[in-house]
Amino acid sequence: MSALDLVKTLIGFDTTSRGSNLELISFARDLLEKSGARCRLTPDATGKKANLFATFGPDGGGGFVLSGHTDVVPVDGQDWSSDPFKPEVRDGKLYGRGACDMKGFVGVALSLAPEIAKAKLKRPVHFALSYDEEVGCVGVTGLLEDLKKAGIKPALALVGEPTLMKIVGAHKGGAKLTTTCCGREHHSSAPEKGANAVMMAGEFVAMLDDVWNGLRADADPRFDPSHSTVQATVIEGGTAVNILAREAEVTWEYRCLPDRDPEKILQTVRERADSLLTKYRARASEAAFNTELHAQYPGLVMDEDSPAVRLARELTGANQVEAVSYGTEAGHFQAYGIPAVICGPGSIEQAHRPDEFCALSELEACEKFLRKVIAKATA
């Protein structure tokens, strides 16, 4: 299959994070094994999702990882001009959910499997396909733990997130959290005889905004925005207009500069939340803010001398290494001692939006780049 046909095929699998990715993983595994790859699967606890790690070339350590996630974000409520899971080419662009984020890269890489199999590799070329990146880079941790247990240590990882084929050597770390605001129900005509969890949630959100303001002074101009950020994204709670809410939930996130300590952000939020409780506990002793960490991923710290960055610059001729504020699995690879760099087709500006697309010229540029990677593995 051509690169374009493979990308289209992958888009046709609905791998929204809330569902399973096994149909896509089975397709990719079959394709890779028919080309001669040695494959490893690491399923999640439910058995409904899995990572796939495949290797061409000699056994042992070293080699290059071509890394991509298989899940995509939901299309619910978005106004698409075509079916997001039936890819279409229009005006030199491929439209479909995941076209740029990031089935474009994965499809191009898979299309080269027969060429990789025929190449006289002196070092391995690996594929790493993961689940649940979009909900906090969850799946790749199990893949990396499996490699560690198996004694497999690649030399570097190329993560194909959309960068318009520019070289990205740093990104922020982040986390998804929920804070449950616990109050006491009462008739709304007597608000001081209870604790309104919805009002608690409002104060908690305002406090998060203030914490964010406090982070602005610590800036790194390579990023946009240049500082760490904190924000609430979802609020749920309450039952009726005349009842003080017993419970409300705030979903929030932080995105932290990669060489800063995210625990300081969490500590600040917890301390500030505790200070908000005084007036509510005067009315209801059980009032509380209970915060749960659901997913966390490390930042990618800039290292322009890393073998991953050096290889990417050599093969692209790039003079500049950039930094981005979105997160990727590259930080996890780096944390496991595998140097990583990000370079992939498409623009992050198109990711997660209706009518997501990747220019065909970007897919072609990615194909040329990956062929250079293969050639380097034979040198």
Angle at alpha carbon of residue 141, lines to 221 and 257, rounded to 5°: 15
Q: What is the mean pLDDT of residues 239-244?
A: 97
Coil, helix or strand for 204? helix
- Please confirm, yes or no, whether 133 is among the known catalytic residues: yes
Is 5 known to be catalytic?
A: no
pLDDT tens column, 70-90: 999 999 999 999 999 999 999
**Which residues, including other chains, have CB under 8 Å from residue 97's CB and lie 6 or more apart?**
11, 16, 72, 73, 75, 84, 85, 356
- pLDDT score for 46: 95
The model's pLDDT over 145-190, given as tens digits with 9 standing for 90+, comes to: 999 999 999 999 999 999 999 999 999 999 999 999 999 999 999 9
Provide the CB-side half-sphere exposure for 98 (13 A, CA).
Answer: 33
* pLDDT tens-digit map of 21-42: 999 999 999 999 999 999 999 9
Sheet arrangement for strand 93-95:
88-90, 93-95, 357-359
* Omega before 102 within 30 of 0, i.e. cis: yes
Catalytic residue among 23, 30, 59, 71: 71
Diameter of the chain measured on Cα atoms: 79
pLDDT tens digits along 243-294:
999 999 999 999 999 999 999 999 999 999 999 999 999 999 999 999 999 9
Pairing of strands 64-69, 125-130: parallel
**Of the candidates 193, 209, 300, 320, the residue with the CA atom closest to the CA atom of residue 254:** 209
Grade residue 60 by pLDDT with cuts at 50, 70 and 90: confident
How many Å apart are CA 374 and CA 367, to the nearest integer?
11
**Marked catalytic residue, from 132, 133, 161, 253:** 133
**Span 111-153, pLDDT tens digits:** 999 999 999 999 999 999 999 999 999 999 999 999 999 999 9
Q: Which residues contact 183 (CB under 8 A, 6 or more apart)?
A: 194, 195, 196, 197, 200, 244, 245, 246, 247, 248, 280, 284, 287
Rg, the chain, Cα only: 23
Q: Give the tens place of pLDDT for each residue, 2-11.
A: 999 999 999 9
Domains of the chain: 3-171+299-378 (3.40.630.10), 173-297 (3.30.70.360)
Decide if 343 contacts 316 (C-beta within 8 A): yes
Distance in angstroms (rounded) separating the CA atoms of residues 167 and 23: 31
Residues β-bridged to residue 180: 249, 290
Q: Predicted confidence band at 221 (pLDDT cuts at 50, 70, 90)?
A: very high
